[in-house]
Copies of this chain bind each other. A is one copy, B any other.
Amino acid sequence: MDFFNECYLNGIGVGVGDPQMMTLKAVNAIRNSDVICLPRKDKEQCMAYKIARESVPEIDEKEICCFEFEMTKDRDKLDKIHQNIYDTVRGFIDDKKIVSFLTIGDPTVYSTFSYIAKRAKTDGFEVNIINGITSFCACAASLGISLCDLDDELHIIPDVSKLKESLKLPGTKVLMKCARHIEYIKECLWKYEKEGKIEVYAVSDCGSEDEKRFYGTKDLPHEGKYMMTIIIKDRTLL
């Protein structure tokens, strides 16, 4: 695979929980890495690492670099966090080490890696993105449903503050990172569901041993989980 010769920085998606859902490319890229970067203080607490280790035990022979960072929406703080991570990564690249950043899901969808990649590209380094299965696809598969058919639109909504607006969009809506607002979400969804306009599904901890599936708004838990994805299918299109 030619990219191993040229590319010192890889962003690798490991999917959401089932180690078998890693791609062949992700497995090979981890095997060919010198350094594995993880978005957690401790590898034993890092889900991406635990997923990867199941399918690629050789990961434990690699140099592991853990980054602890605050979850924040403050742009200045984020900038500083990303710059610090990049400075370390840059050090590895300068030492001609192949560095791979593991991300849950896919590196192109809400991942910290994209900020590191931007900085690396600005410095003239080539960056290799290796896809993983996104949470919304994995959740739909676990539920045994399709996300979208024919001309259905698919809308991924990570911020539920404008949920009432989002629910008016045609097609399927996926709510991510919905832990903190679960009661508000249930209230909004029930209004449409009781009128037969939508079908509601959710999965928490998809692909892991703790996976739970929920069918209908009334079935949703009272306490949201960070790793919960809600899928809202538009019944008016059926």
Contacts and interface: CB of A to CB of B under 8 A. Distances in A.
Interface of A: 1, 15, 18-25, 27-28, 55, 73, 106-111, 114-115, 117, 121, 127, 129-134, 137-138, 140-142, 144-159, 166, 169
27 contacts: A15-B23, A15-B131, A20-B23, A20-B24, A21-B25, A24-B24, A106-B133, A108-B140, A108-B145, A108-B147, A109-B148, A111-B146, A114-B145, A121-B144, A129-B141, A129-B142, A130-B141, A131-B138, A132-B133, A133-B133, A148-B158, A150-B158, A152-B158, A153-B155, A153-B157, A153-B166, A156-B156
Given A153-B155, A153-B158, A108 B146 contact: yes
Contacts of A156: 148, 153-156
Given A140-B129, A144-B121, A144-B129, A149 B110 contact: yes
B24 A114 contact: no
A110 B151 CA distance: 8
A151 to B, nearest CB: 4
Contacts of A21: 23-25, 131
A1 B145 CA distance: 21
A21 B141 CA distance: 18
A153 to B, nearest CB: 6
Contacts of A148: 108-110, 156, 158
A216 to B, nearest CB: 17
Contact of A147 (B15, B24, B109, B138): B109
B24 A110 contact: no
Contacts of A27: 24
